Amino acid sequence: MITIPDFVQNLVPYKAGKSIDELAREKGLTQIVKLASNENPLGPSPKAMGAINNYISESHRYADPLCHNLTHHLSEIHKLAPEMIFAASGSDAILQYVIMTFSKEGDELLTSEGSFIGWYVNADKLGRKSVKIPLTSDYKYDLKTISEAISERTKIIYLANPNNPTGTIFSSKELENFLEKVPSNVLVVLDEAYTIYVDDSLDFPNGVNYLRENLIVTRTFSKSYGLAGLRVGYAFAYPNLIQHMFKVKLSFEPSSLSQVAAIAAISDEEFIAKTIELNRRSLTMLREKLDAIEIKYTDSAANFLMMIFDSEELAKKFTIECLNRGLILRHVDTFGIPVGVRINSGTDDETEFAVQAIDEVWEMLK
């Protein structure tokens, strides 16, 4: 009989939000809007689609395992040596590689409750011990308490800025103060998946400016660049850290099509400008509606808001009733916030649909 390790037996498979096709089959709905996964409502960058079409005839070739062209493009944009850039199939894969490379089974990983579920899943499936510090009352990372929780057993600290699912951020000064308190033998992972959405007026730290021997910064093409289905993530770190991560990385990822799409997408400045403007417009519409019907929500700097309800039961009912009307949202109980429901920005039509559905559901439930 095959023996399954205890920590694997105790795992719960990741459950993604309900898909449009799945909901259409279940409910027989003709109009469905999915605002549950923080995807770009504009779709992929047109330049990325063009690059894929031009390269499709080469898809019988293995992808470049070093991602030479992609890392050199990122190098030019971020003014870093190519040796300081690492690409893989989504930032989620990079988080897995970080845990595999810089810790071993039983080691302690420190982070916050109410943060990215992908970090929790990767830590659990690799048999690491997670220590989670509660969020503050306004759903922000409590960096002071996290720093005080560092012990001799701590190997890696995970921070997300903006945080998912709350969208809240910590400032440059807060990050500086935190990094000063972290011992040099403890690795800090700074996840910046939503950095492009942060308004320039905010005091927001660009992780690239804080690189040091014990810091890795991760980003992704899944959100603002509209390439979630192609799975491309990248990281910035000192070369010695990157070199060790290559030892555990699957050889031929991201795919060749993903790499050429990412190169094209990152140069599509017009598309990014449209994405940022649409996000601002959509979230403004959502905030105005939530204010009018008195649903609380987080102070988000990303491409989503987290609505806050008085109880887990109410949050769950709200999500289900929106679903029944064709609006797919994300109840973030598995993230560690049972009273939270996340909604991302959409097109103008999608946002208007969402506003109407939210209004109807709240009128029924309140």
pLDDT tens, residue by residue, 186-206: 999 999 999 999 999 899 999
Q: What is the pLDDT of residue 139?
A: 97
> What's the average model confidence in pLDDT over 158-169?
97
Mean pLDDT for the stretch of residues 263-279: 95
Model confidence at 27, pLDDT cuts 50, 70, 90, reads low
Q: Is 326 left (phi over 0), alpha (psi -120 to 50) or beta?
A: left
For residue 265, give the nearest of 231, 225, 223 by alpha carbon: 225
Give 28's pLDDT tier (boundaries 50, 70, 90).
Answer: low
Closest by CA position to 66, among listed 198, 231, 194, 250: 250
Give the pLDDT of residue 335.
Answer: 93
Of the candidates 300, 278, 233, 215, the residue with the CA atom closest to the CA atom of residue 91: 233
- Do residues 36 and 17 make contact, with C-beta atoms less than 8 angstroms apart? yes
Q: What is the mean pLDDT of the chain?
A: 92
What's the confidence (pLDDT) of residue 66? Answer: 86
> Do residues 340 and 36 touch, judged by C-beta distance below 8 A?
no
* Per-residue pLDDT, 25: 63
Count of C-beta atoms within a 10 Å radius of residue 144: 14
pLDDT of residue 106: 86
pLDDT at 17: 62
Average pLDDT over residues 170-191: 97
Q: Which of 5-14, 44-53, 207-216 has the highest mean pLDDT?
A: 207-216
Q: Are 354 and 343 in contact (CB under 8 A)?
A: yes
- Reported as a single tens digit per residue, the pLDDT across 278-307 is 999 999 999 999 999 999 999 999 999 999
Q: Convert the chain into a string of H (helix), E (strand) and C (coil).
A: CCCCCHHHHCCCCCCCCCCHHHHHHHHCCCCCEECCCCCCCCCCCHHHHHHHHHHHHHCCCCCCCCCHHHHHHHHHHHCCCHHHEEEECCHHHHHHHHHHHHCCCCCEEEEECCCCHHHHHHHHHCCCEEEEECCCCCCCCCHHHHHHCCCCCEEEEEEECCCCCCCCCCCHHHHHHHHHHCCCCCEEEEECCCHHHCCCCCCCCCHHHHCCCCEEEEEECCCCCCCHHHCCEEEECCHHHHHHHCCCCCCCCCCHHHHHHHHHHHCCHHHHHHHHHHHHHHHHHHHHHHHHHCCEECCCCCCEEEEECCCHHHHHHHHHHHHHCCEECEECHHHCCCCEEEEECCCHHHHHHHHHHHHHHHHHHC
> Is the pLDDT score of 230 beyond 80?
yes
- Overall average pLDDT of the 70-82 stretch: 95
Which amino acid is located at 65 in the chain?
P
**CATH code reported for the domain at 46-266:** 3.40.640.10
Which tokens sit at 352?
């208007």
pLDDT tens per residue, range 312-325: 999 999 999 999 99
Give per-residue pLDDT as tens, 120-150. Answer: 999 999 999 999 999 999 999 999 999 999 9
Could you state, in order of their start, the residue ranges of all structural domains in the chain? Answer: 6-44+269-365, 46-266
CATH for 6-44+269-365 is 3.90.1150.10
- The percent of residues in the chain predicted with pLDDT above 70, rounded, is 94
User: Would the pTM of this model clear 0.75, i.e. be above it?
Assistant: yes
Question: Residue 296: its pLDDT value, please?
Answer: 98
Per-residue model confidence (pLDDT) at position 55:
87
Banded pLDDT at 346 (limits 50, 70, 90): very high
CB 179 within 8 A of CB 211: no
